[in-house]
Every structure is written in C-alpha cells, then in structure tokens.
Amino acid sequence: MTAENSADAASHVATFAKLVQTFGWSQRGRLDTNVSCQKCAKRANGDLNVHGLDGFFVIDCPYTQRARGIVVDGKRYTLKSMAAVTDNLSKMVNSVVETGVHLHDSPDVLEKDLFTDRSTAIDTAIVAWYCPDYDAAKVQEWVRECSPSKPRQKNMIAFVWENTILDRLKSLETFRATCEELEFFYFMVPELSKFSPILAPEMLISSIQPFRYTKIGSGESRHGIFYFDVENPPYIRFLLKFIQSCFAQTTAIDIFAHCSPAQLTKLTAELHDQIGVRTPGSSRRGPQIELKALSKTIYEA
Amino acid sequence: MIKNKEELPFPSQTDLYALVQAIDSKLLTELLSKQGVYLLCNKSDKAEFLRRFAFGQQWYAEAFHASDRTARGIAISITGARAEASSLSEVETAGRTMLDKIAVPANKYQPKITKIYYGDPPEKDSKDPQSIIFQIEYRVLKPAYTLMYSTETHIINVAVVRLDDSVIEFRHNPHNSTDALVARDVIQATLLQMKKSQISIDITTLPLESRIDLIDTILTQKSGWVIRGVTEFTVKKDQDDYSQETEGEGDDQPVSARKLPDKDTKLLSRAVLQGENLREHELVKKFLEEGYYFSAVEFFAVKQNEVGMEGIVRVEISFKHTPRLLEVSVGRTRVEIGSNGFEDIATSDSIAQKVGDFYWSEVYRLFQKIKTKIAKTSKKVTRASSQSSVGITPGSRSASDAEEDEVTEQTGETSVLALPNAPLATANTATEPSVVVVDPSSAAKPTTDGSTAAAGPGS
C-alpha cells in the first residue's frame, strides 16, 4: 500500500503551485516530473540518473536581489501514513534538499528542461505536507523532531510547511484576490528594505508581515500588517513598537490578524488598552490603527 | 520607511551574529525546527539567513535567553583546583615529564602539554618559580561531511601558583565547558604524576544542609564584596549514582538541574538581603525535603570605594556537574541611569578579575571551613559513640530532635553541625586523613538490646 494516493498528491501539488504563483513564484518545467541529474552516476544503460521533482519555482529574491530556485516536494500524508512510512520527515527533507543540490550542479538540465538560467541560486527546499486528518500537536511534534543533514559544500535552507502554514498561504491568497496590488515590505535587512510583490518563503514564516495594498475599485493605497502572533496577546506591544519604527510617518495602518472572531475581540481590547481609541481630529501622533480579521481560509488539496 | 533601524523591535544584525556565536548549535536547530525551518549551512552563514526572518517576540526571547553568554556578556570565568604541595618545582617536573605526550589517554580530546613557561620568575635566592603556566593543546574532531573530517586545534593555558607553604593552586579561565573539562583532566593527570591529591571542592561531598549553608554564607558576606540582590538560583536534585552520567562538551548542568522561577528567586533574594538564614526559609525547607540543593547562584555584587567600579557586577557561582568543578563567572555591570532605569555595560577586565578572584577564594575558604566543621562533628560523635559503647548512657533526646539542623551534644555545651543523611564522600578526603567518616545510618542502628546508639544525628 502506498502512503499517499498519487492522484491526491498531484492535486495537492497543483493547488500549492497555483497559490504560490499568485505571489510571484514562477513555475519552471512541469509539476510532478522527473529531471535528469548530471551529478549522479549514469545508469547501466548509459542514461542519466533522474530525480523526482514535484515542483520547481524561481523567484526574484527580495533578500539577495538575485534569481532564487526553490524545490518543492508535495506530501499528502495522513497521520497514520506518516507514521507507517519508512521515510520519515527528515529523510523527506534530505531527499528534496539533495534534489536541489543536484539540480544546482546540473546546469545543462536546468537550462534545457527547466528553462532556468544556470546562475540561479538554488538554495531553498520545501516539503509541503498537507495532512488531511490534521492534529496540530502531533504534526508539530514531527516537525520539531525533523533533523535533516547539511549537504556537502552547499548551503541550503529547508522548510516543512504543514497545514498551519498552508492555511496561512491560502488566507493570503484569498486576501490577494480582493486587491489590485499587494506588495510586501522587507524590513529585516534595513539596508535593503523595499516593497516587493514577491512572497519570500521566509516572509510566510514570519510573525509580522508588513505590506501595502490597493483594494479593487478603491484606488487608494494603504499600509497594512498581517499579524500571525495572535496566540500571545501581551506581545501586541511588540507590534506597536514595530509600527512606531516602521510606519510612524503613515497616517493610517490596518492590522490584519489571522485569528478567530473571539480572538479578534480580545486583541482589539488589548490594542485599545495600549493606545486608547484615536478619534478623528485627535492630536495624538502616529498612524491611526485599525484592527481587522484576516479571514482564515483552510487549505484544501 | 524605517525611521531608524535601531528602533526596530527585532534583533539587529550584530545581535544575530552574537547569538549564533554564543548559542549552542543544537539548541538553535531545535528552536528553528519548531518553526519548520532548517538552516543547513555553516555556522558563519546562519546569522545571515536568520536576518531574513521576523519570528515572534517569544522566539527571540527563548533564543537569547538560551545563549547566556550573549545575554550576560561573560567577562571572565574562573575554574581550577588546589592541592597540597610545598613547591612549584614539583609541578614543573611533573609537567616536563608529560610534555608533548597525550596527558589523558581517556580524554577524547587528546590533550597535551605543549609548553611550560614561568609566569613570574623565581625570587632572588630561590630556585622555585612563583607561578608556572602550562600551555595545553587539544583537538576536537568534527564530522563536517559524510566522508570528510575536520579537526580543530584549541589551545588553553593553565596557571599554577603557590598560595602558601603547603598549598598550590591551578587556575584556568575557560571559554566553554570543553575547555574546563580538558583543563580539569590535565590538572588531575599532573597531580597523579606528582602523586598528590586534589583538595576537593565537590559540593556533592557535603551534606544537603551544608550545601545550603555554603551558598547562604557566600550570599550573606558582610566584608569585601557585598550582595545587592540575587537574580537566579539553580537547584539540583541530590543523586547518589553519578557514574551513569557522561561528561563532555554540551550541557553544563545535568537534566535534574533547574532554574527557580522568578517569583521564588525574588522571595529568596529578599530573604538574603534581609539577612535571614536561608535554611530556615519555608521554600528552602521544602527543597531540602525533596532532596534539592542550590548548585548555582547568580547575583549582583558591589564593593564600596573600589577604584574603577561603576555599578553592580553580575557574578555566577556554579558547582558544575559536567565536568564536575567549581566555576565562578563575572558578567556585565549594571549601571543606573536616571531615576528608575538601568543599563548593562561591559565589566572592566580589572574589576572582573578582582571580583572573580574574591569569590573563587571565598568559596574555597568557606567550603573548607564547612568541611572542617563537619569533620570535627564527626570526630565528636564518633567519640560519643565509643563512650556509649563502653557503658556511658546518652542523655534522653526526643525523636524530633533528629530533624534539627543543629544539634547539641549530650553535654549541652557545644553546638555543632548535624551529620547529614547523605554520606560524606570518601574518595575526596585524601587530604584530610584524620577525618573519621561515620555513616549516620549505620551509626544510628538499634543496638542489640533494642535501644538506639548515641552516634546518630539527634540520637
């Protein structure tokens, strides 16, 4: 018995690809395919060895200002399947990392089969694990215990995106659909800070995602922050400090908290405790802050 | 857009570089894996990758707290050992015998003494140097890749000085627990070569109550450096069997060690500042009942009129378990700014050395004092025991007396420390051959006629 149904897995990869393409990820080659490897030893019949590749994407990296290659492995395993497979999560990550490293060392394949410039830095590997019977505690335990190995002579950054992150991605995509424009603000490297429509993988993991957007039909560009650290309400002060340092010159800012309505009420109370309610014409300095809900959309493959 | 990058509530590039340098790699990996992030790169590149993320405040708090040295800015750490020896020439001779040979074959880092030189030349009309320095080299083998291995060579110095006519001291300033482990092993090997034994300062050789007394006495010192508040207590559960626990680089504290929550630390700190006896504190009594003792304490200390002293200095005294030794670390200086604020600044080298030396020597002095006191008690109790066995009837004592911390001998004239429930270690008492070690459990066994012998605590 296979751990996952191949049709379901293909559907998951296709859904994932559709979502990330909304945020400037350019798909190269076909999904769920095999690519030759110049690095691996040739087969007995003289053919080049191959790697299975669920998805390969290239983005214009906001951090390095260079083309960045991202290798994705889509998994659609139930908890039971994940427990049963001999390849645990670490091996899955190792495998996708190895594919990335070997692709990097196969410039001809990269150009010919994946239509990608050989100078592209392939430094990112993602295991996108959609778990149909998701149990946060169990899945996160697997993720926590995952310990992939460092590849030889190559730096890579690997991610395991389970349902929480996939839901976040889906929610952002739903929000994106309501906007004419959406650009993320990359502030963590202050000397390179800039707005970019590209959603870097690191940004999706971050607790705070500042951005500017224009709603369809409004024509007005506004600033906003996607806020994911909602489980820790006392840290709203942290968020306010961030707004003070990043958006002090802005007249208004919308915080979109990724949470349930009950949590939003609690957060609103926290926010009002911290800053008070600003009324039009009030002399207090700083932007007018409005707390809204980023509607939670569940990722389904 | 960003007004001033210094105002960002996220760590700066410098902070992240310092974090990566200071934090244990495994710990950083664990913290990142909670986020589903795996940085598969060299240590030097990790900070650059970390800059890309904006994790929640909780994550940074955990990471920076875990990297103690980043948070506290350790200025100096002191560890070492003392032994009975009349001259440093003996040490030099032993060191020269071991020169360029693997000093401790059992130690996986294969330490060697590679150089011996004089710290201070011999005084006039004396052949004996005032201090000697051993340069020790050790190797750490790191499996960097599957097929390739890399070896890192580390060099450390261990100084040996003569404290008085009969005692010498080995002193080392470790940067990490591996340095400390190697230094300790080489010191022990040198002493073995000299056929001398170390003056033990292993806290586990003291009874539980005396371990509390030791920390209490250090904290309530009224001369020299004075405590201005305790910031951290680490408690550890007493364990009889240490043999199964391994030593090596990595965790400095065993699994059973834990830091007290802030609430408890504040309570105990207040008690210390008010001059209360810690052993009388309800919280400490509870720890003792459960078999816990203080294995490390961190506090602020100050010395009036000390030249160059700007504020209060953070000091940590730690009876480490892995490797088992005493370590005194001096951290940052806290300076008041304005009416309510404060700032942590780097401690000057001279102040760090002075405060470090002071507490290092004080812990030794107080430790020996407590051991001597226990030894005297032990002798007296042994004498009383032998007297009772020849027919002297002990005074009547209630059973509850056995639980008292201090007992009065049957004459009622002398107040002495109680013998502990934990036995005195026998392995480290070589320097005190006159001490008669009495196992209280065996001493308090009923006699053949059914009465209890007088030797046990409170009996």
Q: What is the ipTM of this complex?
A: 0.92
Q: Same domain for A83 and A174?
A: no
Whether residue A130 sits in one domain with residue A275: no
The Cβ-side half-sphere exposure at B119, using a 13 Å CA radius, reads: 16
Domain boundaries, chain B: 5-72, 76-199, 204-368
Contact call for A157 and B30, based on CB within 8 A:
no
Place of tokens 């393409």: A21
The total of other beta-carbon atoms located within 10 Å of residue B181's CB is 26
pLDDT, mean of residues A264-282: 69
Residues 6-25 of B with CB under 8 A from A: 7-10, 13
On whether both A212 and A155 belong to a single domain, the answer is: no
User: Which tokens in the block code for residue B337?
Assistant: 């700014």
Lowest mean pLDDT among A195-204, A238-247, B268-277: A238-247
CA distances from B155 to A229, B91, B181, B349 (A): 45, 20, 13, 21
Q: What is the three-state SS of B5-25?
A: HHHCCCCCHHHHHHHHHHCCH
The residue among A142, A161, A180 that closes a domain is: A161
A133 and A271 belong to one structural domain? no
Residues A52 and A78 occupy one common structural domain: yes
Does residue A299 form part of some domain? no
If asked whether residues A156 and A201 sit together in one domain, one would say: no
Please name which of A72, A100, A58, A81 lies closest in space to residue A14, comparing C-alpha atoms.
Answer: A72
Does residue A78 fall inside a structural domain? yes
Q: Are A156 and A177 in the same domain?
A: no
Is A298 contained in some domain? no
Beta-bridged to residue A223, according to DSSP, are: A212, A253
From CA B374, how far away is CA B429, in angstroms rounded?
12
Q: How confident is the model at residue A23 (pLDDT cuts 50, 70, 90)?
A: very high
What is residue A234's DSSP assignment? G
Residues A146 and A185 reside in one and the same domain: no
Q: What is the pLDDT of residue B154?
A: 80
Identify whether residues A68 and A134 lie together within a single domain. yes
Domain match, A151 and A180 both = no
Q: Do B33 and A146 touch (CB under 8 A)?
A: yes
Q: What percent of chain A has pLDDT over 70?
A: 89
Does any domain span residue A1? no
A-contacting residues in B 140-199 (Cβ below 8 Å): 145-146, 148
Q: Is A156 close to B41, i.e. CB distance below 8 A?
A: yes
Residue A282's contacts (CB-CB under 8 Å, 6 or more residues apart) are: none
User: Within chain B, which residues score under 70 in pLDDT?
Assistant: 1-7, 65-73, 120-127, 141-152, 239-256, 322-323, 338-340, 381-459
- Residues of chain A with C-beta less than 8 angstroms from the C-beta of B5: 190
- Interface residue B4 vs chain A (CB under 8 A): yes
Looking up residue A81, the CATH number of its domain turns out to be 3.40.1350
The chain-wide mean pLDDT, for chain A, equals: 86
A114/chain B closest Cα distance in angstroms: 24
Q: What is the pLDDT of residue A258?
A: 86
pLDDT computed for residue A160 by the predictor:
96
Same domain, A192 and A130: no
| pLDDT on residue B441 | 36
Q: What integer pLDDT is reported at residue B123 of this predicted model?
A: 66
Q: Is the pTM of this model over 0.80?
A: no
How many independent structural domains does chain A possess?
2
Task: Supply the pLDDT for residue A2.
Answer: 45
A positions 260-299 inside 8 Å of B (CB): none
Whether A38 and chain B come into contact, CB under 8 Å, resolves to no
CA-based nearest residue in chain A for residue B59: A207
Question: Is there a single domain that holds both residue A28 and residue A140?
Answer: yes
User: In which domain, by residue range, is A110 found?
Assistant: 6-161
Cβ distance B56 to A97 less than 8 Å, yes or no, reads no
* A221, A213 contact by CB (below 8 A): yes
